[in-house]
Structure 1
Amino acid sequence: MQDPTPNPFASFPPATPSAPLRVVVADDNPVVRAGLTALLSGRADIAVVAEAADGRAAWEAAHQHRPDVVLLDVRMPGVDGISALPYLVQIAPVLMLTYSRESGIVQEALRRGAGGYLVHGEFTADQLVDAVRDIKEGRPHFTPTAAGALLAQLRQGRPGSPLPEGLGGATAHGNGSPTPGATTISAENLSQVQPDMGQSSSGWTGGRPPAVDRSRFQLSAREAEIMDLIASGMTNQQIAATCFISEKTVKNHINRIFAKLHSTSRSEAAAKWLGTAPDPSPRGLR
C-alpha cells in the first residue's frame, strides 16, 4: 500500500557542489610558482587558473580569467607587484605573498588595496590555504612581520599621501566591477607603468633590491631549489611532492643545506637565504 504522506522535500533539486575558488599566482620565481600551484591545486575547493611572472602578466591573466583571488609577489621584473596592485584590485581581491618584509612596502601595499600580506617563511601551508579562502570573503590575513608594520602605521595615525596620478582610488566590488569614477584600465596603459615610479610616503620606489649573493653558500641547483621552497614555507612532504623525490631525500638535502648555511633551523636558513638575517656584530664573531 502506497504511503499517502507526501514527501515535503521531493520537489527540491539535489545539492550541487560549489565551484572551486579560482586563483591567479604571480611570482617571478618559477620554483615558487610551481610550489604554490601544486599546494593550492591539491585542495578540492581551489583551482589555480593561471600563473604570471610579472605585474603586467598578472593583470592580463586576471583580466582574462576573472579569478576570485590573486596571489601577488612584490619584487618582479618589468611591472612590479606594488605598481600593478591598484589595477589588479579592480578585478579581484589581492593577497600579497612575498619575501619582502620591509615596513614601508607592507604599508604601501595595504594603502594601494591589498587585502592581506603574507611573508614567506612565516606561515604554514594550511594557513596559506585559509588565507586564500578568507581573502575572497573580505577577511584579511597578515603574518607577524606584516601585522607589525600595520600596527606601526596605525600608531603613527598619519594618513598616507596621495597616490601617483592614475593609480589607486579604485576598489573592487564583489563582481569585480570597478568603482564608479575609477581609472579605466587596459593592457596599453598598464604597460606604461614603470617600476621606478615616483617615491611615495612609505619610501617605496619600486624596482628590485640588490640581489642577495647566494653563491657564497655553494648550494647545488637542487639544493637551491629546495631552499627556495623552504623559504616559501613548505613542509618536507610538500617539497617532496613538488620535486618528485622522497621525504628522506628531502631531509638529506636539508641537512646539507643547513651545514652550508651554518643554520640549525628552517627560519634561520630562510633568513640567510633571503638576506634578511641581521649582520653579526664584531662581538659575535669572536
Structure 2
Amino acid sequence: MTDDLTDDLTDEPAGLRVLVADDNPVIRAGLTAVLSAADDLTVVAEAEDGRAAYEAALHHCPDVILLDVRMPGVDGMAALPHLVRVAPVMMLTYSDETDLVQEAVRLGAGGYLVHGEFTTQQLTQAVRDVGRGRPHFTPTATNALLAHVRGNATAHARPELRALPKESSLKGLSQLQSTMGQSSQSRFQLSGREAEIMDLIASGMNNQQIAAVCFISEKTVKNHINRIFAKLHTTTRAQATAKWLGVA
C-alpha cells in the first residue's frame, strides 16, 4: 500500500522551471523575486543576453523562458528561433512596436507581455499559461496581432475593393466607399468585443487561445461566439469567417 501511495505522489505534476533573460540586472532580480514567490514556479537560471540564454536553456532545460527583445550582443529576436526548440518562450519587454510583436509570434513566441500592462499576479499566471501551451498577451500586443489579422482580411477582400486605380479621383474614392458600405462590424451589428473575437476566429484561433488573448473565460468566449453566429446567421466558424471576410 505504501509503495502505491508513493507512486501516486510521484505522478503529481511538478512546478514550472523558468529561465529569465534580460540585460538589466535590476529587472532580472525583480522578475526572479516575483516568480520565486509563487509555490509552483522556480527560476533555475538568469541570462544577460540571447547567447547566454541559449546556453542556460540547454544546460537547465527550463519549462518556460522569459525573454527580453532588445539586449546587447545576441538580442532576443535573434535568439528566439533557437530557444523555442528548447522550451516555450514568452517575450517580456518594453518594446511594444507592432512589427516586433507580429515577428515574435511568427518566430514561435507563445506570449508577449509589455512592461507596465500587467500585475505580478498576471505575470505568474501568464508563465503558467505559456508553460501549458496557452498563449498570453497584454493589450498592446493583442492590438498588434489584431492589426495583422485585419490586414490579412483586407488582402483577401474582393479584388475590386482592395485598391484604387492610380487615376482614381476623389469622386472615384467616394464611389468606392459607397460600394464597400459599412464595415463588417457595423454591417453585422457586432459589439466591439464581438468584432475583436470574430477577428481572432478568422485568424484560426480556438476558444482556449481567444480566452487567453482577451483575458476572459472560455465560457464567456462561447457566449460571444453564439451571439456572433446568430447575428451573422451562421452555424460554423468557417461560415462566419467567410461572411466576415466578404468571401461567402
Alignment TM class, shorter chain as reference: 0.5 to 0.7
Q: Deviations over 1:204-225 (max 9, x none)?
A: xxxxxxxxxxxxxxxxxxxxxx
| Matching residue of 2:54 | 59
Q: 1:179-218 to 2 correspondence within 5 Å?
A: none
| Matching residue of 1:13 | 5
| Matching residue of 2:105 | 110
- Give me the whole-angstrom Cα distance separating, in 2, the residues matched to 1:20 and 1:45: 4
Match of 2:63 among 49, 54, 68: 68
Match of 1:89 among 80, 84, 88: 84
| Matching residue of 1:205 | none
- Give me the whole-angstrom Cα distance separating, in 2, the residues matched to 1:42 and 1:10: 32
- Give me the whole-angstrom Cα distance separating, in 1, the residues matched to 2:3 and 2:52: 47
Q: Percent identity?
A: 66
| Matching residue of 1:33 | 28
| Matching residue of 2:134 | 139
Residue identity in the other structure for 1:153: H
Relative to structure 1, is the Cα distance of residues 11 and 62 closer, same or farther in structure 2, using a 3 angstrom cutoff? closer
Q: Structure 1: which 5+ runs fail to align? A: 1-8, 159-286
1:150 aligns with 2:145: yes
Show structure 1 runs of 4+ deviating over 3 A. 9-12
In the TM superposition, residue 157 of structure 1 has moved relative to its aligned partner by 1.1
Q: Deviations over 1:59-98 (max 9, x none)?
A: 0000100000000000000000001000000000000000
In the TM superposition, residue 124 of structure 1 has moved relative to its aligned partner by 0.5
- Give me the whole-angstrom Cα distance separating, in 1, the residues matched to 2:3 and 2:18: 35
Q: Structure 2: which 5+ runs fail to align? A: 154-248
- Give me the whole-angstrom Cα distance separating, in 1, the residues matched to 2:119 and 2:55: 29
- Give me the whole-angstrom Cα distance separating, in 1, the residues matched to 2:75 and 2:22: 10
In the TM superposition, residue 10 of structure 1 has moved relative to its aligned partner by 7.6
- Give me the whole-angstrom Cα distance separating, in 1, the residues matched to 2:15 and 2:130: 14
The alignment partner of 2:5 has SS state of coil
The alignment partner of 1:157 has SS state of helix
Relative to structure 1, is the Cα distance of residues 11 and 75 closer, same or farther in structure 2, using a 3 angstrom cutoff? closer
Residue identity in the other structure for 2:52: A
- Give me the whole-angstrom Cα distance separating, in 2, the residues matched to 1:20 and 1:150: 30
Match of 1:45 among 37, 40, 45: 40
Q: Number of matched residues?
A: 150
Match of 1:130 among 115, 125, 129: 125
TM-score, with length taken from structure 1: 0.51
In the TM superposition, residue 11 of structure 1 has moved relative to its aligned partner by 7.2
- Considering only aligned residues, what root-mean-square deviation do their CA atoms show, in Å? 1.5
Structure number with the higher helix fraction is 2
